[in-house]
Structure 1
Amino acid sequence: MMSRRRAAPDQVSWLARMVDSGTLEAALAGLLAVLVVLLDGLTAQPWQPVALDLTACVLAGLTPRWPRAAGVSLGAVLTLYVFIPASWGTLGEYSLLIPILGTGMRGSRRTRLFMTLAYFVILCAEAVTDDPAGRTPVIGWIAWAVLIAVLWLIGNVYFATIHALRAGKKAELVLQRQALARSLHDTVARSLTRVVMAAEAAQLRGHASGADLALISDAAARSTDELRWLMALLRDPDEDAELNVEDPTPLDRALTEAQTDLASHGFVVAMSAEGGFERLSRTQSELLGAIAAEACGNIVKHAEPGTACAIIVKVGEQDAEMVFVNRPRSEAREPSRFGSMGLSNVRGRVEQLGGELVVERQPDQWSARVRVPLAQDGSPPEKVA
């Protein structure tokens, strides 16, 4: 069945949450406010510069929520620093750097540009009033410009990095959902094929047995659930959620189910399995199990009922190989104008692991050969149930 689970947080998710929610500016402003209080306790400053510094810290922390109002108010408060006595020790001017950093990390380039131009003018004016007479304020201007440039660089690098991470995550999620959609298509097609086969058998006999009705009911109910999962997969807007098809079938169980299913439809099944399935990793075993289920569905749909079919599996040291052979129906169905989507899905999944699918069609025989190299799978081999 299909379930929804949250994606594992990436390494910068905590910082991304702080930036997106605006708590980064609040945290930096709070840290600066603590430094202001410590400076006041150590130097016994008058209350006026301390009040100005704390007001500037509060406004800097509010800029993510109200960028215009808080940003303009912050600039107005810091303009007062130009007119205060030079003997007052202040740290509030550094609060101007906080919104410049935060807007850059969020990618608000226009807001950052306006803040940078306005705040840099204020900082330059303050540098003029703070420098002793006879000294040029150019060095202070350069220092502020370098510091702001560093904040721009940090903001740009962070925004580009997080944007690339989110784009890669979104692309990976799209590929995952495409793979799940293909897998669900295969299961829906097999369920509906069983419904069609049971109905045709009942039509040939002139009546439907209890087993036919039970098979039709169960397969139709399952296909309805699978279609519902498919629609949920296609319309889910949550990019942080991953949809997963639970209980994938490993190869050994898939072969047992395939043999039982084929025998229930009147086929004489000859099965041969060589090699140890424990050499397969979980990914490889589940992939080969899905291929076996798809091949079994194709045999039921296209093979001549009551004839012999063969399933040959060989797991060697370097690769795993499966061969399916059956006799096609004398009255072949009209091929779909869309082609065999099931085989296309199988071929795509096999090629992802570096394998190959070869299908041969002859008037009296249909065969499919699948080969998957064991060394291509990146996950370590593990014994599957």
Structure 2
Amino acid sequence: MASHAHDATDDVVTASPRGRRDDTARRAHAGPMSSSGSLLGSPRLTLSAAIALAFFLAVIIIPTTFPSGAASVLMGIGLSIGGGLSITRPVAGGVLIGLVLTVAILDPLSSPGLGVLVPPIALAACAGEGRLLPGIVIGLWHTTVITVAAERTMNTTADLVTNALVWIFMLTVAYLLGALWRSMILRLATERARHAFDLAEQRRAIARDLHDTGVRAITEVILLAETAQHADGVSAADAEAFARISRTARLSTDELRSLMDALRTDVPVDGSTDPTAYGVTVHAASWDDALQAARDRLQAADFTVNLSSESDAPVPPSATPVLSRCLWEVVANVIRHADDEYPVAIMSAAMSDGVELLVRNTIDHDPVVRVDGGDGLRGLGEQLEAVGGSLETQRDGDTFLTRIQLPTDTGR
């Protein structure tokens, strides 16, 4: 009994607010990219943007290279690819663009056409990713190549200097725009991290309140019920009633602890959402407790319950939460759809390789009642499939059978 009714103080894991705040700040200032290095945060979005940009540049650039021959067309294709690559790999994209532009010096007959407008994209991307030194080197490389290539068409030195200054200005503006983008993303990430930290602190405060009030109170109920159950002069019926109170209170305690664990879970700073990340798992301290709690719940709803449990091997704690959640949903389905004039059979068999649960009930003759297995059972089947289990339902006349199988190694 002590293992179930202990004070929950030792369940609370504490961490200093400063430490959590510092960790949140480090994640927020890691940069505007995701953990995979994506400039736009999402790898899929970044790849889509890169492909779309490369295609757009190809449509704009390649037609302008047709008059200069096949070499110029290939140059236009290379510049289009380099522009798109700059979104995912700014330095690699800038290097590819520099190499393609260098061909314009080696082959006087070739021309990049409108491809000369691609270098600012690579430089802006470098600045957006915080690659300062590579961005400067790539910018100087592109400016030098474009200036040398333009010397063939410039009539005077003044025109050549003017052209170089224009390109320096364009690349500088591109770099500043990229740096501004990075600054905006960092500021948004910092605000989001601060908001996430505040929400996490509120959840932890709620968890502490639940521990100080709810868990302590229910623990006292368990102690009182189990003490009264074994007191002298208590009848068998009263002892069973106290045992039922104890089992229900233990189940509630475990659910509260599960809730506190969920409340103490930090919200991901990267904004990712997981529908099961903060879900509360309905579970009991053991599989036997879960079966007894299910019987108590059905009896409270005026059902007669025949409970049978066989065990060749103990049900591991890792499988108990999944099984308890399944049993809880099946019991709720029985209460909604079954006829309480007939008994409900719950049969559990625990083996070395898994657990099998059978629940048999009689369908209510009320025509309003649907017995096709609603969203709850469908969702339950999906959850079981995710951990290698299965859910089967079968109707034979007025008898409805629910069969659940779960391997004991659920990986949880």
Please tell me the residue identity of whatever aligns with 2:207.
L
Note if contact 1:37-1:50 (Cα within 8 Å) is conserved in structure 2: yes
Give the CA deviation at 1:160.
1.0
- The residue aligned with 1:32 is 57
CA spacing shift, 1:224–1:30, aligned 2, 3 Å: same
Instruction: Return 5+ residue gaps in structure 2 as ranges.
Output: 1-37, 281-412
Please state if 1:114 is matched with 2:137.
Answer: yes
Please tell me the residue identity of whatever aligns with 1:199.
L
CA spacing shift, 1:103–1:197, aligned 2, 3 Å: same
Q: State the TM-score, normalizing by the size of structure 2.
A: 0.48
Give the CA deviation at 1:159.
0.9
Aligned residues: 232
Please state if 1:90 is matched with 2:140.
Answer: no
Q: 2:160 aligns with which of 134, 137, 141?
A: 137
- The residue aligned with 2:124 is 101
Q: What CA distance in whole angstroms lies between the structure 2 residues aligned with 1:69 and 1:160?
A: 23
Q: What CA distance in whole angstroms lies between the structure 2 residues aligned with 1:58 and 1:38?
A: 15
Please tell me the residue identity of whatever aligns with 2:147.
C
Higher relative contact order (CA 8 A, sep 6+): 1
Note if contact 2:97-2:119 (Cα within 8 Å) is conserved in structure 1: yes
CA spacing shift, 1:89–1:67, aligned 2, 3 Å: closer
Using the TM superposition, name which of 122-131 and 196-205 deviates more.
196-205
CA spacing shift, 1:109–1:133, aligned 2, 3 Å: closer
1:118-173 deviation digits (Å, cap 9, x = unpaired)? 22222332333331245431211121122112112211111111111122112211
Q: What CA distance in whole angstroms lies between the structure 2 residues aligned with 1:89 and 1:200?
A: 86
Q: What CA distance in whole angstroms lies between the structure 2 residues aligned with 1:164 and 1:126?
A: 41
Please tell me the residue identity of whatever aligns with 2:59.
V
Please tell me the residue identity of whatever aligns with 2:82.
L
- The residue aligned with 1:362 is none
Q: What CA distance in whole angstroms lies between the structure 2 residues aligned with 1:67 and 1:132?
A: 35
- The residue aligned with 2:205 is 182
- The residue aligned with 2:101 is 78
Note if contact 2:225-2:245 (Cα within 8 Å) is conserved in structure 1: no
Q: 2:150 aligns with which of 127, 133, 140?
A: 127
Q: What CA distance in whole angstroms lies between the structure 1 residues aligned with 2:208 and 2:106?
A: 73
Q: What CA distance in whole angstroms lies between the structure 2 residues aligned with 1:232 and 1:115?
A: 48
- The residue aligned with 2:255 is 225
Give the CA deviation at 1:236.
5.2
Give the CA deviation at 1:58.
1.5
Note if contact 1:194-1:216 (Cα within 8 Å) is conserved in structure 2: no
Q: What CA distance in whole angstroms lies between the structure 2 residues aligned with 1:14 and 1:67?
A: 9
Q: What CA distance in whole angstroms lies between the structure 2 residues aligned with 1:22 and 1:202?
A: 62
- The residue aligned with 2:268 is 238
1:311-370 deviation digits (Å, cap 9, x = unpaired)? xxxxxxxxxxxxxxxxxxxxxxxxxxxxxxxxxxxxxxxxxxxxxxxxxxxxxxxxxxxx
Give the CA deviation at 1:73.
3.5
Note if contact 1:20-1:106 (Cα within 8 Å) is conserved in structure 2: no
Give the CA deviation at 1:203.
4.0
Q: What CA distance in whole angstroms lies between the structure 1 residues aligned with 2:63 and 2:185?
A: 35
Q: State the TM-score, normalizing by the size of structure 1.
A: 0.51
Using the TM superposition, name which of 51-60 and 161-170 deviates more.
51-60
CA spacing shift, 1:219–1:106, aligned 2, 3 Å: farther
- The residue aligned with 1:214 is 244
- Secondary structure of the residue aligned to 2:268 is coil
Q: 2:182 aligns with which of 135, 159, 162?
A: 159
Note if contact 1:202-1:212 (Cα within 8 Å) is conserved in structure 2: yes
CA spacing shift, 1:14–1:89, aligned 2, 3 Å: closer
Percent pairwise identity: 18
Give the CA deviation at 1:68.
5.2
- Secondary structure of the residue aligned to 1:53 is helix
- Secondary structure of the residue aligned to 2:119 is helix
CA spacing shift, 1:174–1:128, aligned 2, 3 Å: same
